Amino acid sequence: MKLLNESLCFGGKVGFYSHSSSVCNTQMKFAVYQPPKAILQPVPVLYFLSGLTCTEENFMVKAGAQQFAAKHGLMLVSPDTSPRSTGTSDEDKDWDLGTGAGFYVDAIAQPWRNHYQMYSYVVDELPALIHKNFPVNPNKQGIFGHSMGGHGALVCALRNPDRYQSVSAFAPIVAPMQCAWGQKAFSNYLGSDQTLWRDYDATELIRKVRFQRSILIDQGMSDQFLTTQLFPETFEKACAEVGQALTLRMQPGYDHSYYFIATFIEDHIRYHASILCD
Amino acid sequence: MKLLNESLCFGGKVGFYSHSSSVCNTQMKFAVYQPPKAILQPVPVLYFLSGLTCTEENFMVKAGAQQFAAKHGLMLVSPDTSPRSTGTSDEDKDWDLGTGAGFYVDAIAQPWRNHYQMYSYVVDELPALIHKNFPVNPNKQGIFGHSMGGHGALVCALRNPDRYQSVSAFAPIVAPMQCAWGQKAFSNYLGSDQTLWRDYDATELIRKVRFQRSILIDQGMSDQFLTTQLFPETFEKACAEVGQALTLRMQPGYDHSYYFIATFIEDHIRYHASILCD
């Protein structure tokens, strides 16, 4: 693990790192915010998964999360959204597939399967690396994300409720099997057998598994992708049918940008802290 | 004036605009954050001047200022740091001269004088445009900035204490005549007669004029430019000699980045609000 850059921020440290990922079979980057409290004792850790086209940097630069992570004593970790420069054919061709668009799945189809293993990377390899190198309590983990990353956070949490105690999302892709972004990603990464897609679709997963806490979702009502890619009411309906607790907040006037995330980041960190912090 | 993009943020609006500047003789861009209170009544306005290489966007995206501007009811305005694509020879050659490096002076030397008039743009033209198009109280103006923009804020305020009631800075270039960045900018924009440079040097200006309020400056002690370009103690000494009230806070461990700005933005907005807001 190599430290690329580090800055003091709200009394804690924002650091950018690279490491050799065995799961993705290439160099990967991620960012960590260590709150001041982490100098004294291990702290809970909260993973943020970013959306299409993002890197490990966007969340740390734009969300304004450090202020509240410092206050509550939470470590923040934001991975990149895909492997990069792997030599996979067409990886840089489309903005919504390949580079910057790993979709938090383990690819099984060619040419993606050799590197695009973002699900295992986020759920297994990265947490192990974090536990080894940073003062975190591995039994206190939360996860959240935005758009494609909101989808990723929901899938990781629903499939591993023993590893994540809290989950929330901003404008998540809650039903990727039903939208163009998800269909494109899944057909390329997973192939044409749609039964294999269900393990990466929050609305499908919620029919089979329960999350032990209420899930928090914020959705801007002026989001340009609301009715074409996101439709949170699909997930809300599925949760209601199976008795999954969900707080879905439709926010009038807000769009899909980080200005929306920044506005509600305090609420999300407070939600996670209420579960993860003593 | 043309609206390019607008997002809701903390109940207010972040907007990006372009307009035809008569002072700079080209299209210029700027960003405005309108707090929720501006829907009800005219509010005070606080200008932020950015540093080298920045655009009108950096401050709005990275500083986390909207949260506190919303709370106090302050409008925020961040102009671009120079004219762009003017056809001026060599304007894109160096990162610290020309594009992204207007240095908030009115150029008198060729080839810059036809477009590089950032001092008059910030002090005269932009405020007039803001007053005409947004619900602001023109008698309540503050100004702050970062690095080159900290220099700009100090110069604008010291030369126009009747127009600005409050001024603060993050890691400002307080003595541009004594550092390489300032010498390069001034010799190119203003020519070789150094007596003309003094009007754009805060440490020179403070020997002649007083600002009616205490000036607030934050400076990171791990700033990579501290001892080569910034040396705030030079300004501190000059202020002490003439009896100018100054709060200079040396912040251990902080660097020159927006992570430093974000950490202390609340204090700066509180300082301006305490003077500008009723």
Q: Which one is catalytic: A147, A201, A218, A268?
A: A147
| A10/B64 CB distance under 8 A | no
CATH number at residue B216: 3.40.50.1820
Distance from CA of A264 to the nearest CA of B (A): 8
In this prediction, residue A74 carries a pLDDT of 98
| A260/B11 CB distance under 8 A | no
Mean pLDDT score of chain A: 97
**In which band, very low, low, confident or very high, does the pLDDT at A278 lie, cut at 50, 70 and 90?**
confident
How far is the C-alpha of B115 from the C-alpha of A44, rounded, in Å? 53
Mean pLDDT score of chain B: 97
How big is chain B by its Cα radius of gyration, in Å? 17
In this prediction, residue A144 carries a pLDDT of 98
Contact in structure between A157 and A167 (CB atoms under 8 Å):
yes
Contact in structure between A34 and A124 (CB atoms under 8 Å):
no
| A10/B262 CB distance under 8 A | yes
Tell whether pTM > 0.90: yes
Per-residue CA distances from A61 to A58, A169, B68, B136, B261 (Å) = 5, 18, 17, 29, 11
Mind listing the pLDDT tens digit for each residue in A209-260?
999 999 999 999 999 999 999 999 999 999 999 999 999 999 999 999 999 9
| Chain A residues touching B265 at Cβ < 8 A | none
**Closest residue in chain B to residue A61, using alpha carbons only:** B62
Total number of domains constituting chain B: 1
Contact in structure between A172 and A152 (CB atoms under 8 Å):
no
% of chain B surpassing 90 pLDDT: 100
**Closest residue in chain B to residue A256, using alpha carbons only:** B7
Mutate which: A4, A5, A9, vs B, most B CBs within 10 A: A9
Check whether A86 has a pLDDT greater than 90. yes
Contacts of B243 (CB under 8 A, 6+ apart): B210
| Chain B residues touching A66 at Cβ < 8 A | 259, 262
Residues of B with a known catalytic role = 147, 223, 256
Q: For this structure, is A50 an active site residue?
A: no
Give the pairing type, strands B12-21 and B2-9: antiparallel
How far is the C-alpha of A139 from the C-alpha of A223, rounded, in Å? 35
Contact in structure between B245 and B215 (CB atoms under 8 Å):
yes
How far is the C-alpha of B91 from the C-alpha of B119, rounded, in Å? 18
Residue count of chain A: 278
Mind listing the pLDDT tens digit for each residue in B243-266?
999 999 999 999 999 999 999 999
**Closest residue in chain B to residue A15, using alpha carbons only:** B259
Distance from CA of B47 to the nearest CA of A (A): 19
* Residue ranges making up the domain that contains A123: 2-277
How far is the C-alpha of B205 from the C-alpha of B199, rounded, in Å? 6
Check whether B278 has a pLDDT greater than 90. no
Q: SS3 helix, strand, coil % of chain A, rounded to 5?
A: 35, 25, 35
Q: For this structure, is A147 an active site residue?
A: yes
Mind listing the pLDDT tens digit for each residue in B99-151?
999 999 999 999 999 999 999 999 999 999 999 999 999 999 999 999 999 99
